[in-house]
Each structure stands twice: as C-alpha cells, then as structure tokens.
Amino acid sequence: MPRVVSLFLPSWSTDRLRRKLGDVSPPSDKPLVTVGRHGNRRLVTAVDRAALEAGLRVGMPATKAQALVQGLAVMDAEPDADAEALERLALWALRRYAPIVATDPSDGLVMDTTGADHLHGGEKLMLIDMVKRLSQAGILARAAVADSWGAAHAVARYVRQTVSVVAVNATYDAILSLPIPALRLPDAMVSGLRVLGFDRVGELLKQPRAPLTLRFGPELGRRLDQATGRLAEPIEPVRPADAIEVKRAFGEPIGAAETIARYVGKLVQALCLELEAKGLGARRLDLLLYRVDNRIEAIRVGTALPVRDVKRLTRLICDKIEKIDPGFGIELMRLSAPLAEPLTPRQTISSLIEQRDADISDLIDILGNRVGEERLYRFTPVASDVPERSVRRVAPASVETGDAWPDHWPRPARLFAVPELIEAIALLPDHPPASFTWRGIRRRVRRADGPERVFGEWWKRDAELAAVRDYFQVEDDAGERFWIYRAGDGEDVATGSHRWFLHGIFG
C-alpha cells in the first residue's frame, strides 16, 4: 500500500519574501500580503498568518486590504520566483526524506514515502521533523500522510492540525466530512455543486455517479476516485540537474526478484564508477522501478559514512527487494545518489606494527536501514559540570570531539534525563540521608559517600548564579546504589529548594 505525504505551505509566497528580505521575525509583527494583476485589477494573491488573522483574504482588492489594515506591508507577487523556490524546496526534501518528491503548485509538495519513513523513526516523527525544520527557516507548514495523493492533499489543507496521520485503509472515512474544495475541483464546478446543495465530500460519494458525470463531466468522478485511492495518481519526481545516477531500460518487463537483484548489482557497479570519477561516496541511494502501469516503486537506503563499495551497497538494496511489488512488470530501473560526500582514498595497513582501526560502519548501515537511522545513536561527553548537560546524543559514526568523560568522581551507569523527586530524612547541611522514599518504596541508607558539590552555570542564566547541588552516592540494605542530590547548600534558601532528587542508578 503506497503512503503519500502532502506538505502544505499556506503562506509560501509571503514566507519566501520574508526570508528573501532577511526577516524571520514572528508573522504577527507586521502583516504582509502579495499583490498581482488580474486584468486591470490589483488583487491580493497571498497573505501571511498575521494578515489572515486581520481578516484579509486571497482574491480581495488590494485597495480594500490596505484600507482594512493600517501599516500593511504590500509586495508585488513573484509567481515565477515562487515556483523556482518551491522546486528547490522539493530537491531539499528529496535528499532528506523520500526518493519520490514533486511540487504540488502553488503551495505545497507531495512525496511518496513508502519504505522511507522508517529511516526517520516512523511517519509521525518524520512529519514533525519536516514541519519543525521549515518553521526554523521561517516557513509555516502543515503535513499529512494518507494512502493517496488526493486524500493527503485534502487533509493537509482542510484539517486544522499541524501534523495528520491517516491510518492505512482509513482514507475513505478521513475525507467524508471535508468540504468539496478539498477535491481540487475548479471554482466553477464547486459553485455549481453548492447550488445543488452539496457541501461535503461524503455527500458526493453517496450519490449515483452517472447524473453527476452527465452534468459536470468526468473530472468530478476522477477526483473522487483519486481521493479515495481507487484511481492511481502517479507522482513525477523532481531530478537534480547534477544528479549522479544510472539507469537501465528493458525491452521486456522484468518481475522476478532474482532478476531485479542481478540488475541492481550492475547498476550499483556503474554508479560506483561515476562516484569514483568525482571523488565521492554515497550517503544515500534511491532505486526507482518504473512499472508498466505507470506506477513507481522505490527503495531508499542510507549509510553512516560515504561509501562506494559495490558489494556493500548491493547488499543494502537487495535486502529490501522483497518489499517491491513489480505488478505486471518493470520496464525501467533508475539508481541515483541524491546525497554524496567526498571520499578520498586511504593507505591500506601494510606494516606489522600498525593496527587496523575497528570499522563498524557496515553494521551501523544494516541496523539503520532496518530499524531507522533516527533510532541509532551513541553518547558523547560535553564539557559541563551539570550532569544532565555533560552528555548528548550524536550519530553513531560521527567524528570524536576530543572531550573526555569526567573521571574525578564516579558517575552512574544509568543517568535519568529528568531527576525524580524523592522524600529523604537527613541532617543539614552536609549529612547524607538516613533513608529516602522513591516511587513509593522506603529505603534505608546503609553506606554513603559525599557530598560532591556542583555549581550552576552562571554564564548561561542569571537564575544559576547561586544554584548549588550536593550529590551523594548511597547504598541501601539490599545493596542497590543510587546517586541522589539535594538542591541547595543546606543553609541558604537562595541556593535551592533543599528538596532531594534521585538522578541515577549505579550498576
């Protein structure tokens, strides 16, 4: 079952102009609209969020908009520049999220993410990441995923949620309550349907098809079938002008898994030669298989480091061949490297004295393509005395920073991301607890070591100027060892609340 993502950019034109002007301030600061000519009239062609909240709408006269909102920023519409920027955004999404991405003019993108969402932790996390990254760039966005392009397009634009995930085989129910314009129908047809009393998609789906087709033509039925997934809607993916790719066309369609795997090996070998000629290694590979029924099947694999090893890349792709549905046959295979990085030759180990560095990138690639790249990480130290700030997650194959783990005091094997509040009985200011209660269980302290005093990072926040924590390593009657601390120095209330927290567990 294909899964299609629609990325809706409700104020694409105005957001683009803000970024062009170097203004990424909140939209509420100064409302902005773009204006274009329609015959002899100057009409509003796009509004940002602030202008929308002020009551401005696309299609209203520019003079009326300026009269309604004092100090309104008005700029000339640039449809060609908008389309060009949307194309660049599609190429960004192609390299990062999915092998099949196309523009959905004039305010969105469409992607077939089948088989690629697991690399980002699943569909919902992938959509959240898309919206978050665009928001950081000053672009307002909403995203939806469904079984069809029509349904994803409709939900992204007419469901007031930033991220919407329509479950597999739930497309029909998801679009029933949406308004008729969600079907991407011409304005004249929408007006005609409303004259007849139709307002929701579900009302149209319950009607006999023949009378509607006789009155409005085949377009209405086609859009209904596309929205419900009965009629396939192929996505023609964008291709970078400098794409590194190879392809193979077949006189007779192929469909057997063994045949596909054999030609995958040949394509990978040809692609690696192209990469070698440019001094690059692949970080991401896309295999597109064009079926005779005009549908595209896709496989995406990623690597932790730049690679152009034929056997390794072939194995990664062939591991996913079983997910391919060849249908009535595949007539074209296209293999590309949308993400490639410099890969310089290295001298092989030849001396008896030198030791070969351990290379687990192959294992990382296998696990990453099975469970998702976002789920693989390692911890690296950060220069900070505050325990929860002294460690962070990085990619498994990222370069070492050179920072070392602290060794002057032992640290627990399991450090809580958020310290948990406990009830403790202790003498102030320097004594460890005699007992403490954690998660409803009272524990008597048999041995303790401390305190280790940790000060706040005053250069980051004024609130940490006087902040203090006193840490203790304690062992209970059962032999379990805990890392607990008191907020404050035990004397001055300004240094902390003097409450006790459990921050980690040893062993």
**pLDDT at 224 > cutoff 90:** yes
> What is the distance between the alpha carbons of residues 59 and 106, in angstroms, rounded to a whole number?
15
User: What are the structure tokens assigned to 269, written together?
Assistant: 């070998």
Q: Which of 62-71, 286-295, 354-363 has the lowest mean pLDDT?
A: 354-363
The Cα–Cα gap between 211 and 216 comes to: 9
* Position 351 confidence tier, pLDDT thresholds 50, 70, 90: low
Q: Is the dihedral of CA 489, 490, 491, 492 positive or negative?
A: positive
Residue 375 pLDDT greater than 90, yes or no: no
Report the distance separating Cα 262 and Cα 381, nearest Å: 45
| pLDDT, averaged across the chain | 89
The two three-digit tokens of residue 305, written as one number:
């480091």
Instruction: Return left, alpha or beta for 410; rule: phi > 0 is left, psi -120 to 50 is alpha, else beta.
Output: beta
Given a cut of 60, is residue 34 above it in pLDDT? Answer: yes
Q: What is the pLDDT of residue 453?
A: 92
Query: Is 29's pLDDT higher than 80?
Result: no
Read off the pLDDT of residues 460-504 as tens digits, 9 standing for 90 and up.
888 888 899 999 999 999 999 999 999 999 888 889 999 999 999
Query: For the chain, give me the number of helices (H) and strands (E)?
Result: 14, 20
CA distances, 200 to each of 178, 183, 479 (Å): 6, 10, 66
Helices (H), 110-208: 123-136, 149-158, 171-175, 187-195, 201-205
The rounded distance, in Å, linking the Cα atoms of 350 and 49 is 64
Reduce the DSSP state of residue 212 to 3 states and report it: helix
Instruction: Map tokens 């006790």 to a residue.
Output: 500
**CA pair distance 424, 422, nearest whole angstrom:** 6
Q: Name residues whose C-beta falls within 8 Å of residue 170's C-beta, 6 or more positions apart in sequence.
A: none
Query: What average pLDDT does this structure show over 349-367?
Result: 71
pLDDT digits (tens, 9 = 90+) for 115-150: 788 778 889 999 999 999 999 888 889 999 999 999
Taking only the tens place, the pLDDT of each residue in 134-191 is 998 888 899 999 999 999 999 999 998 999 999 999 999 999 999 999 999 998 999 9
| Global pTM value | 0.76
Category of 387 on φ-ψ map: left (φ > 0), alpha (ψ -120 to 50) or beta: alpha
pLDDT at 26 over 60: no
pLDDT for the residue 28: 46
Mean pLDDT of 435-457: 93
> Is-contact 469 459, C-beta < 8 A?
no
Instruction: Provide, rounded to the nearest whole percent, the portion of the chain with pLDDT above 90.
Output: 57
Q: Is the pLDDT of residue 27 over 50?
A: no
pLDDT tens-digit readout, 377-422: 888 888 888 888 888 888 888 777 777 777 777 888 898 989 999 9
